[in-house]
Amino acid sequence: MLEAINLVGVRGERRLFNRLSFQVRAGECLLVQGENGSGKTTLLRMLAGLTASAEGAIRWKGRLLDEQLGEYQRDMLYCGHGLGLKEDLSTMENLLISAALAGISTTPALVSDALKEVGLAGRESLSVRGLSQGQKRRAGLARLLLQQSSLWILDEPLTALDTAGCQWLVNVIDRHLLDGGLVVLTSHQHLSLAGTSHSIRMGA
Ligand SMILES: Nc1ncnc2c1ncn2[C@@H]1O[C@H](COP(=O)(O)OP(=O)(O)OP(=O)(O)O)[C@@H](O)[C@H]1O
Protein backbone atom coordinates (compact mmCIF):
# COMPACT_ATOMS: atom_id res chain seq x y z
CA MET A 1 0.00 0.00 0.00
CA LEU A 2 1.11 3.56 -0.74
CA GLU A 3 0.12 6.01 1.97
CA ALA A 4 0.42 9.80 1.92
CA ILE A 5 0.02 11.43 5.32
CA ASN A 6 -0.53 15.16 5.73
CA LEU A 7 1.61 16.19 2.74
CA VAL A 8 2.22 19.89 2.24
CA GLY A 9 3.22 21.24 -1.18
CA VAL A 10 4.90 24.64 -1.24
CA ARG A 11 6.32 26.30 -4.37
CA GLY A 12 7.88 29.71 -3.75
CA GLU A 13 5.33 31.75 -1.80
CA ARG A 14 2.43 29.49 -2.82
CA ARG A 15 0.98 26.68 -0.73
CA LEU A 16 -0.36 24.31 -3.40
CA PHE A 17 -1.84 21.74 -1.05
CA ASN A 18 -2.11 21.42 2.69
CA ARG A 19 -2.24 18.28 4.86
CA LEU A 20 -3.13 16.02 1.95
CA SER A 21 -3.69 12.38 2.93
CA PHE A 22 -4.74 9.34 0.90
CA GLN A 23 -4.06 5.66 0.44
CA VAL A 24 -3.63 3.56 -2.70
CA ARG A 25 -3.99 -0.19 -2.26
CA ALA A 26 -2.92 -3.10 -4.45
CA GLY A 27 -5.15 -3.23 -7.53
CA GLU A 28 -6.18 0.43 -7.25
CA CYS A 29 -5.59 3.49 -9.40
CA LEU A 30 -5.55 6.99 -7.94
CA LEU A 31 -6.43 9.67 -10.48
CA VAL A 32 -5.00 13.07 -9.50
CA GLN A 33 -7.11 15.77 -11.11
CA GLY A 34 -6.95 19.55 -11.20
CA GLU A 35 -6.38 22.61 -13.32
CA ASN A 36 -3.03 23.66 -14.78
CA GLY A 37 -0.71 24.74 -12.00
CA SER A 38 -2.77 23.17 -9.22
CA GLY A 39 0.12 21.01 -8.00
CA LYS A 40 -0.39 17.59 -9.64
CA THR A 41 3.19 17.23 -10.89
CA THR A 42 4.49 18.53 -7.56
CA LEU A 43 2.52 15.80 -5.76
CA LEU A 44 3.62 13.05 -8.17
CA ARG A 45 7.27 14.07 -7.84
CA MET A 46 6.86 13.86 -4.05
CA LEU A 47 5.41 10.37 -4.36
CA ALA A 48 8.35 9.42 -6.61
CA GLY A 49 10.78 10.64 -3.95
CA LEU A 50 12.08 13.47 -6.18
CA THR A 51 10.66 16.44 -4.26
CA ALA A 52 10.41 16.78 -0.48
CA SER A 53 7.17 17.53 1.31
CA ALA A 54 7.38 20.50 3.70
CA GLU A 55 5.60 18.33 6.29
CA GLY A 56 4.05 14.90 6.63
CA ALA A 57 5.24 11.52 5.39
CA ILE A 58 4.92 8.93 2.65
CA ARG A 59 4.81 5.24 3.48
CA TRP A 60 5.27 2.33 1.10
CA LYS A 61 4.35 -1.14 2.37
CA GLY A 62 4.09 0.37 5.86
CA ARG A 63 7.59 1.90 5.97
CA LEU A 64 8.70 5.48 5.43
CA LEU A 65 10.18 6.16 1.98
CA ASP A 66 13.30 7.67 3.52
CA GLU A 67 14.06 4.35 5.22
CA GLN A 68 13.95 2.33 1.99
CA LEU A 69 14.78 4.57 -0.95
CA GLY A 70 16.76 1.89 -2.86
CA GLU A 71 14.00 -0.70 -2.50
CA TYR A 72 11.35 1.88 -3.38
CA GLN A 73 13.22 2.88 -6.55
CA ARG A 74 13.02 -0.76 -7.68
CA ASP A 75 9.30 -1.11 -6.76
CA MET A 76 8.25 2.18 -8.34
CA LEU A 77 8.33 3.44 -11.94
CA TYR A 78 7.93 7.18 -12.54
CA CYS A 79 7.10 8.45 -16.02
CA GLY A 80 7.26 12.22 -15.88
CA HIS A 81 6.80 14.91 -18.52
CA GLY A 82 10.42 14.47 -19.66
CA LEU A 83 9.90 10.75 -20.44
CA GLY A 84 13.44 9.96 -19.26
CA LEU A 85 14.76 9.47 -22.80
CA LYS A 86 18.12 10.64 -24.15
CA GLU A 87 17.53 12.15 -27.59
CA ASP A 88 20.90 11.07 -29.04
CA LEU A 89 20.51 7.42 -28.09
CA SER A 90 18.40 4.85 -29.92
CA THR A 91 15.15 3.56 -28.43
CA MET A 92 16.90 0.22 -27.79
CA GLU A 93 19.83 1.90 -25.99
CA ASN A 94 17.48 4.09 -23.94
CA LEU A 95 15.43 1.15 -22.72
CA LEU A 96 18.45 -1.05 -21.97
CA ILE A 97 20.07 1.77 -19.99
CA SER A 98 16.94 2.69 -18.02
CA ALA A 99 16.40 -0.97 -17.11
CA ALA A 100 20.03 -1.26 -15.98
CA LEU A 101 19.70 1.94 -13.91
CA ALA A 102 16.56 0.51 -12.28
CA GLY A 103 18.45 -2.70 -11.46
CA ILE A 104 16.30 -4.78 -13.83
CA SER A 105 17.88 -7.43 -16.02
CA THR A 106 16.61 -7.34 -19.59
CA THR A 107 17.79 -8.37 -23.05
CA PRO A 108 17.66 -6.78 -26.52
CA ALA A 109 15.08 -9.44 -27.46
CA LEU A 110 12.77 -8.39 -24.59
CA VAL A 111 13.25 -4.72 -25.48
CA SER A 112 12.38 -5.52 -29.12
CA ASP A 113 9.20 -7.27 -27.95
CA ALA A 114 8.25 -4.25 -25.82
CA LEU A 115 8.92 -1.86 -28.71
CA LYS A 116 6.81 -4.04 -30.96
CA GLU A 117 3.95 -3.95 -28.45
CA VAL A 118 4.06 -0.15 -28.32
CA GLY A 119 4.01 0.03 -32.11
CA LEU A 120 7.69 0.82 -32.67
CA ALA A 121 8.78 -2.40 -34.39
CA GLY A 122 11.68 -1.74 -36.75
CA ARG A 123 12.62 1.52 -34.99
CA GLU A 124 14.94 -0.06 -32.41
CA SER A 125 18.09 1.61 -33.72
CA LEU A 126 16.59 4.97 -34.62
CA SER A 127 17.71 7.79 -32.33
CA VAL A 128 14.92 9.19 -30.19
CA ARG A 129 15.50 12.59 -31.85
CA GLY A 130 14.04 11.08 -35.03
CA LEU A 131 10.75 10.00 -33.43
CA SER A 132 7.48 11.91 -33.42
CA GLN A 133 6.11 13.15 -30.06
CA GLY A 134 3.64 10.28 -29.88
CA GLN A 135 6.35 7.76 -30.77
CA LYS A 136 8.59 9.23 -28.04
CA ARG A 137 5.74 8.81 -25.58
CA ARG A 138 5.30 5.20 -26.70
CA ALA A 139 9.04 4.54 -26.30
CA GLY A 140 8.97 6.00 -22.76
CA LEU A 141 5.91 3.94 -21.86
CA ALA A 142 7.62 0.75 -23.11
CA ARG A 143 9.40 0.85 -19.74
CA LEU A 144 6.09 -0.21 -18.15
CA LEU A 145 6.42 -3.53 -19.97
CA LEU A 146 10.04 -4.11 -19.08
CA GLN A 147 10.55 -3.00 -15.51
CA GLN A 148 7.95 -5.03 -13.60
CA SER A 149 7.51 -2.34 -10.95
CA SER A 150 4.41 -2.72 -8.79
CA LEU A 151 3.77 1.03 -8.41
CA TRP A 152 3.42 3.18 -11.52
CA ILE A 153 3.44 6.96 -11.15
CA LEU A 154 2.42 8.45 -14.50
CA ASP A 155 2.29 12.18 -15.20
CA GLU A 156 0.02 12.90 -18.19
CA PRO A 157 0.82 9.56 -19.87
CA LEU A 158 -1.78 10.08 -22.62
CA THR A 159 -0.13 13.25 -23.93
CA ALA A 160 0.55 13.00 -27.70
CA LEU A 161 -0.86 9.47 -27.97
CA ASP A 162 -3.34 8.77 -30.75
CA THR A 163 -6.64 6.95 -30.12
CA ALA A 164 -5.09 3.50 -30.50
CA GLY A 165 -2.20 4.49 -28.22
CA CYS A 166 -4.61 5.73 -25.52
CA GLN A 167 -6.60 2.50 -25.71
CA TRP A 168 -3.39 0.44 -25.52
CA LEU A 169 -2.34 2.33 -22.37
CA VAL A 170 -5.76 1.91 -20.74
CA ASN A 171 -5.52 -1.85 -21.40
CA VAL A 172 -1.99 -2.02 -19.98
CA ILE A 173 -3.06 -0.14 -16.85
CA ASP A 174 -6.11 -2.39 -16.40
CA ARG A 175 -3.89 -5.48 -16.78
CA HIS A 176 -1.49 -4.06 -14.17
CA LEU A 177 -4.33 -3.39 -11.73
CA LEU A 178 -5.72 -6.89 -12.26
CA ASP A 179 -2.26 -8.26 -11.42
CA GLY A 180 -2.38 -6.38 -8.10
CA GLY A 181 -0.32 -3.38 -9.24
CA LEU A 182 -0.88 0.20 -8.09
CA VAL A 183 -1.13 3.30 -10.29
CA VAL A 184 -1.11 7.01 -9.54
CA LEU A 185 -1.71 9.16 -12.58
CA THR A 186 -2.67 12.58 -13.80
CA SER A 187 -4.55 13.17 -17.02
CA HIS A 188 -6.48 16.03 -18.51
CA GLN A 189 -8.16 13.46 -20.75
CA HIS A 190 -10.86 11.06 -19.62
CA LEU A 191 -9.66 7.54 -18.87
CA SER A 192 -12.17 4.76 -18.86
CA LEU A 193 -10.58 2.12 -16.64
CA ALA A 194 -12.28 -1.19 -15.92
CA GLY A 195 -10.30 -1.60 -12.67
CA THR A 196 -10.85 0.13 -9.32
CA SER A 197 -10.03 3.80 -9.38
CA HIS A 198 -10.65 6.77 -7.17
CA SER A 199 -9.70 10.38 -7.57
CA ILE A 200 -8.57 13.45 -5.71
CA ARG A 201 -8.89 17.00 -7.00
CA MET A 202 -6.04 19.41 -6.40
CA GLY A 203 -6.75 23.06 -5.69
CA ALA A 204 -10.32 22.30 -4.58
N1 LIG B 1 10.64 24.31 -9.88
C2 LIG B 1 9.68 25.16 -9.54
N3 LIG B 1 9.96 26.30 -8.88
C4 LIG B 1 9.00 27.17 -8.52
N5 LIG B 1 7.69 27.01 -8.79
C6 LIG B 1 7.36 25.89 -9.43
C7 LIG B 1 8.31 24.91 -9.86
N8 LIG B 1 7.66 23.91 -10.47
C9 LIG B 1 6.35 24.24 -10.45
N10 LIG B 1 6.18 25.44 -9.83
C11 LIG B 1 4.90 26.11 -9.62
O12 LIG B 1 4.09 25.25 -8.83
C13 LIG B 1 2.74 25.31 -9.30
C14 LIG B 1 2.25 23.89 -9.54
O15 LIG B 1 2.97 23.32 -10.60
P16 LIG B 1 2.70 21.81 -11.06
O17 LIG B 1 3.64 21.53 -12.18
O18 LIG B 1 2.75 20.93 -9.87
O19 LIG B 1 1.19 21.91 -11.57
P20 LIG B 1 0.28 20.88 -12.39
O21 LIG B 1 -1.00 20.76 -11.64
O22 LIG B 1 1.04 19.63 -12.64
O23 LIG B 1 0.04 21.64 -13.74
P24 LIG B 1 -0.24 21.15 -15.27
O25 LIG B 1 -1.67 20.66 -15.32
O26 LIG B 1 -0.06 22.42 -16.05
O27 LIG B 1 0.77 20.10 -15.61
C28 LIG B 1 2.73 26.19 -10.54
O29 LIG B 1 2.20 27.46 -10.17
C30 LIG B 1 4.17 26.32 -10.93
O31 LIG B 1 4.45 27.60 -11.45
Mean residue pLDDT of the chain comes to 93
Segment (H or E) for 113: helix 108-117
Other CB atoms closer than 10 Å to residue 128's CB: what's the count? 20
CATH superfamily of 2-201: P-loop containing nucleotide triphosphate hydrolases (3.40.50.300)
Q: What is the largest CA-CA distance in the chain?
A: 50
Ligand 1 pocket: which of 41, 159, 189, 202 to mutate (most atoms within 8 A of CB): 41
91 lines ligand 1 (CB under 6 A): no
Least confident range from 32-41, 46-55, 97-106: namely: 97-106
Q: How confident is the model at residue 204 (pLDDT cuts 50, 70, 90)?
A: low
38 lines ligand 1 (CB under 6 A): yes
**pLDDT tens figures, 55-84:** 999 999 999 998 998 889 889 999 998 778
Q: Is the pLDDT of residue 90 over 90?
A: yes
Are 31 and 189 in contact, with CB atoms under 8 Å apart? no
**pLDDT tens figures, 107-128:** 999 999 999 999 999 999 999 9
Amino acid 173: pLDDT: 96
The CA 45 to ligand 1 mean position distance, Å, reads 11
Quote the CA–CA distance of 178 and 196 in Å, as a whole number. 9
Q: Is the pLDDT of residue 148 over 80?
A: yes
Quote the CA–CA distance of 153 and 151 in Å, as a whole number. 7
37 lines ligand 1 (CB under 6 A): yes
> What is the side-by-side order of every strand in the sheet holding 57-60?
14-24, 2-11, 57-60, 63-64
The CA 46 to ligand 1 mean position distance, Å, reads 13
Q: How confident is the model at residue 194 (pLDDT cuts 50, 70, 90)?
A: confident
9 lines ligand 1 (CB under 6 A): no
Amino acid 172: pLDDT: 96
Domain ranges across the chain: 2-201
The CA 131 to ligand 1 mean position distance, Å, reads 27
Amino acid 147: pLDDT: 87
Least confident range from 118-122, 140-144, 146-150, 191-195: namely: 191-195
